[in-house]
Amino acid sequence: MTDLTSVSVVIPCKNAGPWIGAQLDALLHQDYPGPIEIIVADNGSDDESRDIVARTPGVRLVDASARRGPNFARNTGAMQAGGDLILTCDADDIADHHWVMAMATALAEYDLVVGRLDFQTLNPESGAHTEGRIRPGPRLGFLPGCGAGNFGIRAEVFRALGGWDDSMDYGFEDTELCWRAQLAGYRLGRADDGVIQYRLRTDTDTIVKSAYRSAQNLPVLVRRFRGQGMSLRPVIWRGLRFVGYLVVAAPVALFHRRIRTEWLRKAAVGAGVVRGMFCRRRS
């Protein structure tokens, strides 16, 4: 490792009372030998979240309620972070005890890094794969990207890039940051041992709403990067596959709950993309 030893962990939070205590406990028991600053950026919680954070020693609570959205909260917390490295995770997940060490080690070599998601531990009945993608692969046929739920970046790189675009909250904002960083010459790598136990959403209504909201930013992403080498062909092909799935799976979805949820999610993605094409042209 290099002399980049101080780490700030930034957690956006809104109404995470049932889960945030477990995440904070995990972060307070890391095996990393250097200093760790834990910042919870509260985005206007009206449950017990703030009280839980306030009574947890070693955790700093930052008010990030001036504008709603996780990216505004992340940016607010990260801008006040004092560490050489900034790590981000979510309030309802749980970091492995070796997470900070793994991410910091990877950031000694790279400018931005993505860790690994464990879908099974917190969702044993979901049938999800045990591990998430450990290699940040190309997205939409363009550059690699990764999610902010298990992410690390050098503080000087974060400030040079200006952080996440908080006008793109809830969808593709993490990809946008990663693409912007790579086009600026920064290196994106992976932290194979940086594991976060990820909590899947199970409520169909929540899944569908999230998919619809997220997909509205896909046309924004395409418009921003098409002139920088991004091809429309993978996006069009992905859209055709979505349409094909909706047509073929519709009869089966009537009788199987899991397939029905996935059908509704994909339909919401399609609707979100259409809305984004016509309602977010100025982004």
Q: What are the φ and ψ backbone dihedral angles of 194, each rounded to 5 degrees?
A: -85, 85
pLDDT exceeds 80 at position 2? no
Would you state the CATH architecture of domain 7-197?
Alpha-Beta Complex (3.90)
Task: Centre a 10 Å sphere on the Cβ of residue 217 and count the other Cβ atoms it contains.
Answer: 24
Nearest residue to 35 (alpha-carbon basis) of 56, 8, 10: 8
Looking at residue 121, what is its pLDDT?
Answer: 92
45 contacts 66 by C-beta, under 8 angstroms: no
Question: Which one has a higher pLDDT value, 228 or 170?
Answer: 228
Tokens of 105: 């080690």
Longest dimension (CA), the chain: 59
Cβ neighbours of residue 214 closer than 8 Å, sequence gap 6 or more: 170, 171, 172, 269, 272
- The token pair at 146 is 């990764």
pLDDT of residue 265: 83
pLDDT in tens, 101-124: 999 999 999 999 999 999 989 988
The confidence score (pLDDT) of residue 122 equals: 92
User: How many other C-beta atoms can be found within 10 angstroms of the C-beta atom of residue 20?
Assistant: 27
Strand order in the sheet with 7-13: 59-63, 36-42, 7-13, 85-89, 150-154, 112-118, 188-197, 94-95
Distance CA 22, CA 25 (A): 5
Q: What are phi and psi of 34, to 5 degrees?
A: -85, 175
CA proximity to 83, closest of 193, 6, 164, 198: 6
> Under a CB-based contact definition with an 8 Å cutoff, are residues 78 and 158 in contact?
yes
Tell me: pLDDT of 252 over 90: no
* Confidence bin at 1 (pLDDT 50/70/90): very low
Give the residue range(s) of CATH 3.90.550.10 domains in the chain. Answer: 7-197
User: Half-sphere exposure of residue 24, counting CA atoms within 13 Å on the CB side?
Assistant: 25
Predicted local distance difference test score (pLDDT) of residue 114: 94
Question: Residue 136 has what pLDDT?
Answer: 57
Average pLDDT estimate for 220-233? 84
Is the separation of the CB atoms in 164 and 173 below 8 Å? Answer: yes
Alpha-helix runs per DSSP H in 113-217: 155-161, 173-183, 204-215
Q: What is the mean pLDDT of residues 273-283?
A: 68
Q: pLDDT: is 234 or 270 the higher one?
A: 270
pLDDT score for 148:
85
Instruction: Give residue 190's pLDDT.
Output: 93
Q: What is the pTM of this model?
A: 0.88
Residue 85: its pLDDT value, please? 97
pLDDT confidence of 253, banded at 50, 70, 90? confident
Q: What is the pLDDT of residues 13-35, one digit of tens each?
A: 999 999 999 999 999 999 999 99
Dihedral sign, CA of 247, 248, 251, 257? negative
Segments of the chain assigned E as strands: 7-13, 36-42, 59-63, 85-89, 94-95, 112-118, 150-154, 188-197
- Which tens digit of pLDDT belongs to each residue from 130-160? 444 445 567 788 899 888 899 999 999 999 9
Bridge partner list, 116: 195
What would the pLDDT profile of 174-222 be if each residue is shown by its tens digit?
999 999 999 999 999 999 999 999 998 878 888 888 888 888 888 888 8
